[in-house]
Structure 1
């Protein structure tokens, strides 16, 4: 690995990603494809067309915004250059599932699809039964998909060295049984956490084999579900946002720029009115290198998906010296701006750790409740 290495961070954090050379602000630290990824179940149900392997959208920006806004007459300027991306769409010869390219089709087949290929419209197929059960447990906004777990198992099963592949997956599992159970409870929610065994049995009906048996025991399945809940990285791909980025870089007069900005604002308004929170083609993936990055409330790096598919890019936000740990934020931008108390609460609930990053340590003297949001939360709790 050039420029970084994974090594023990400290007793609290376990492993971390460390720079072995200097990075300046804006430098790309790494790019990586996930071991596996997949679209969220409800996102797929709402017909967000995407490559089944890399999640690249299978529609033009214009088709995307027409569907999301419900306005068939919308015409996007400067959008014809995106049509070339759809010329290589292909499908599985057996099940007909769509891919953006022959390369994705081949990779999918080699990594997991050979095991999971099935007739899509067979409502009684174990995969469809599992997906429908999961959808009733995990309503939008989604944070995970049971099929990512299934693809992890298929990845192990199809690997040329299944024992080594299983060991790779187990590197992500480093919590206690009680911590795993608590995380799964958080992923599934109070109402459905008791259905973990049902999901386990239905998963075993989809895929079974010598090297994955340990993941299909009650304890192993709980650990794998917790892995998916905490180590999977959210992925969002959107033809509309790619188009906005593209046209924003075009040279034009101030008047033209102003007109375009007003047009874009109106587009997003139409989309929000028609589709609400459904904007990106969303899913998640399991990344071997990026997942080694620990959290900081003052991160020195950030992840993005600049290619419109599941390939992740990690970029430096500020200078990073050799030997320094590379941190990202597990919190969204809005939560990151809130008080230390708010951030700690979010991290404790979703990731089961107390953050002692440089920013949190410097704010340790703050009162336990400083954000207006927390004050209003406590008022609501008191009313209940």
Structure 2
């Protein structure tokens, strides 16, 4: 599990306390060029989305690495069961390394992931899965959450469960609590009178049920402060405002690998046409639901504030939960490192639409240079953009 300290010693960057409303931010202490890796980071905790698992996306229960082979993945996504992917040696999946928990059957990509999950949180959750009513309660927890949080998902109730299990299982329980409490857990922004959308009146009943089930699953005294009404709201807000989306895909990794092959020109052109046709077929069947998707909490990444004109972006080049933060433009020494909490579609919408999404999901009003330059725009969401905000909300985090 990663450490979460303001004095974390990572070359080239530092976390600074910058006061309200942002609290803290991540700053460059040396220049970075566009494309440079700013830092890499493993999460404090990670979990696949519940609906994503129901749709058949199989991934390692610890690191989110896909468990499907690239060809299997292509069959399911395209609906073409007789499809054969060329260059099978470029498939990233190594099924010979896969394993499962001998006690409850949870699946992992390798023994190391199984052992690390067991050491961090799985002993607690595995025990509950094997108790007479424990598995039922965990299933109830997921079902209630799914009725509260339909796709596209941005958080998982099992991420909360893994936080509590991590603390309950830790030898240094106070230290484990401190790791998570350093992340933003603001339920309201009193200055701007904003409350997180998951804490609205329409969700009171579901949140009460979720807290009740959680209280029956987690009985250790070390986590009871999170199982009071106020504490549980804080925990929901912590995950809702800090959760970074993680996406992995064996098909995408296969495409990356075959694209790097040195092939004759004609073979290269044939391959490009094959890939274009495959993605067209996938788009027709699955739309944008291409990846194994989940959510994770990161210490350094959580210190990155939002900008509608970001200078950095998170990537997942290893097809697991390992986050790589890269500069998308040159960053000067002393400059704050900012990411976008919105996806590309939402970033292209009006200032009013961006603010609506950010206020509902992340409890702040953006005052970045782009928003300030558009301050004279009329605060009306166009019919073309829609007025929901859920369709464009990002899986990314906030510290504001």
TM-score (norm: length of structure 2)? 0.87
Segment of structure 1 superposing worse, 317-326 or 102-111: 317-326
1:370–1:139 Cα change, 3 Å: closer
Segment of structure 1 superposing worse, 69-78 or 166-175: 166-175
Give structure 1 stretches of 5+ with no counterpart.
Answer: 379-384
Q: Secondary structure at the match of 1:235?
A: strand
Deviations 1:277-310 (A, max 9, x none): 4321111001111111000011110001110001
Deviations 1:36-74 (A, max 9, x none): 101111111222111000010011110111122221110
1:340–1:255 Cα change, 3 Å: farther
Whether the aligned pair in 2 keeps the contact of 1:299 and 1:329 (CA below 8 Å) is yes
1:70 aligns with 2:79: yes
Q: Aligned match of 1:295 in 295, 306, 317?
A: 306
CA distance in 2, matches of 1:160, 1:63: 41
Segment of structure 1 superposing worse, 209-218 or 136-145: 136-145
Segment of structure 1 superposing worse, 196-205 or 157-166: 157-166
Whether the aligned pair in 1 keeps the contact of 2:91 and 2:253 (CA below 8 Å) is no
1:113 aligns with 2:122: yes
Q: Secondary structure at the match of 1:373?
A: coil
Task: Report the equivalent of 2:4.
Answer: none
1:377–1:22 Cα change, 3 Å: closer
CA distance in 2, matches of 1:279, 1:310: 17
CA distance in 1, matches of 2:253, 2:56: 19
Q: Aligned match of 1:215 in 222, 226, 229?
A: 226
Task: Report the equivalent of 2:143.
Answer: 132
Task: Report the equivalent of 1:252.
Answer: 263
Deviations 1:131-169 (A, max 9, x none): 122223322221111000000111111222111111221
C-alpha displacement at 1:229, in angstroms?
A: 1.0
C-alpha displacement at 1:365, in angstroms?
A: 3.0
Whether the aligned pair in 1 keeps the contact of 2:92 and 2:254 (CA below 8 Å) is no
Whether the aligned pair in 1 keeps the contact of 2:186 and 2:238 (CA below 8 Å) is no
Whether the aligned pair in 2 keeps the contact of 1:177 and 1:219 (CA below 8 Å) is no
CA distance in 1, matches of 2:59, 2:131: 15
CA distance in 1, matches of 2:309, 2:189: 30
Task: Report the equivalent of 1:322.
Answer: 333
Q: Secondary structure at the match of 1:366?
A: coil
Task: Report the equivalent of 2:397.
Answer: none
Q: Aligned match of 2:369 in 358, 362, 376?
A: 358
C-alpha displacement at 1:189, in angstroms?
A: 7.1
C-alpha displacement at 1:269, in angstroms?
A: 2.6
Task: Report the equivalent of 2:109.
Answer: 100
Segment of structure 1 superposing worse, 254-263 or 206-215: 254-263
- Matched residue pairs, number? 375
Listed as ranges, the matches of 1:1-384 within 5 Å are 1=9, 2-82=11-91, 85-117=94-126, 118-119=129-130, 125-175=136-186, 183-184=195-196, 186-187=197-198, 191-369=202-380, 373-374=384-385, 377=387
CA distance in 1, matches of 2:194, 2:325: 30
1:32–1:266 Cα change, 3 Å: same
CA distance in 2, matches of 1:121, 1:72: 39
Whether the aligned pair in 1 keeps the contact of 2:187 and 2:233 (CA below 8 Å) is no
Whether the aligned pair in 1 keeps the contact of 2:90 and 2:258 (CA below 8 Å) is no
1:366–1:235 Cα change, 3 Å: same
Superposition CA RMSD, Å: 2.5
TM-score (norm: length of structure 1)? 0.90
Q: Secondary structure at the match of 1:125?
A: helix
